[in-house]
Amino acid sequence: MNRIGVPEFVAGTTDFDETTRARADALVARYPVGRSALLPLLHLVQSVEGCVTQGGIEFCARQLDLTAAEVSAVATFYTMYKRRPCGEHLVSVCTNTLCAVLGGDEIYAALSDHLGVGHEETAGEPGEPGSITLETAECLAACDHGPVLQVNYEFYDRQTADGALGLVQALQRGEKPAPTRGAPLTDFRTAELEIAGVVPADEAARVAGNSVSEYTLRGNTIAEATGASAPAMPDHYDMPALPEKK
């Protein structure tokens, strides 16, 4: 921990293997300016080490001709970059306002009790089969399905404390229950590789899943059934003048 109680980055390796270095080169080549590849590279580091490590920060800095301080500044800004190695699965429970009042707080408490860990802590040996990192999450942009949780960023909608407990127990047994929507479940490190933009050869099969949400489309469905439509946009819009600066 540093002086304000935030975990330091763990050491990790600076010597990433040939495959990872080749993947990093390919990601950097996608962008006209190298530093634009920093976010994917940090996910690539997480796919190898289960979190962003000090070695990973130095690796990204070397790849992109940045300073370690510049990379750290980005890695510490976003909550998706973890400072401790994650378990085989990352379970994120939405405890933002709407999900909280619908049961998100009870779900988080039940999982925390069962796993014996709190926010951003891991039950089991990180990376080992059945290990689970638990966290609270801010709004996951699925309020119409609340209360929701994600496993490795895949959605499990309309959860209850008992249902979430059953899901986590299944993960601990090595099962991979199907998400409500989206791609089939993998594990945290594989998901991080995909988020980095390294897609598997069987990408089409990997992402095949139920992606349509009847709740999200309900407004559209009602509009189609009733013939309702949004007013046409004006051809032209005059911006009001800004008030003079005093």
With respect to ligand FES, which residue has the nearer C-beta, 10 or 143?
143
Instruction: Tell me the two tokens of residue 62.
Output: 């070397």
Please give the backbone phi and psi of residue 116, each rounded to the nearest 5 degrees, phi first.
70, 30
Do 23 and 16 meet the contact criterion of CB atoms below 8 Å apart?
no
Longest Cα separation, the chain: 66
**Is 86 annotated as ligand-binding?**
no
In whole angstroms, the minimum distance from the beta carbon of 110 to ligand FES comes to 17
To ligand FES, the closest distance from the beta carbon of 153 in angstroms equals: 13
> Cβ 167 to ligand FES, closest distance in Å?
17
Report residue 28 as tokens.
């950097």
Q: How far is CA 112 from the centre of its chain?
A: 19
Nearer to ligand FES, 139 or 207 (CB): 139
Residues within the interface to ligand FES (CB under 6 A): 94, 96-99, 139-140, 142-143, 146, 148
Structure tokens at 147: 């209360």
Q: With respect to ligand FES, which residue has the nearer C-beta, 9 or 108? A: 108
**Rounded Cα distance, 110 and 116, in Å:** 10
Annotation-wise, does 60 bind a ligand? no
φ, ψ dihedrals at 123, nearest 5°: -95, 120
Residue sitting closest to ligand FES (CB): 99
Cα of first residue to Cα of last residue in the chain, in angstroms, is: 47
Give min distance, CB of 43 to ligand FES, in A.
Answer: 22
139 is in an annotated binding site: yes
Nearer to ligand FES, 87 or 146 (CB): 146
Q: Which residues are annotated as a binding site?
A: 94, 99, 139, 143
State the binding site for [2Fe-2S] cluster. Answer: 94, 99, 139, 143
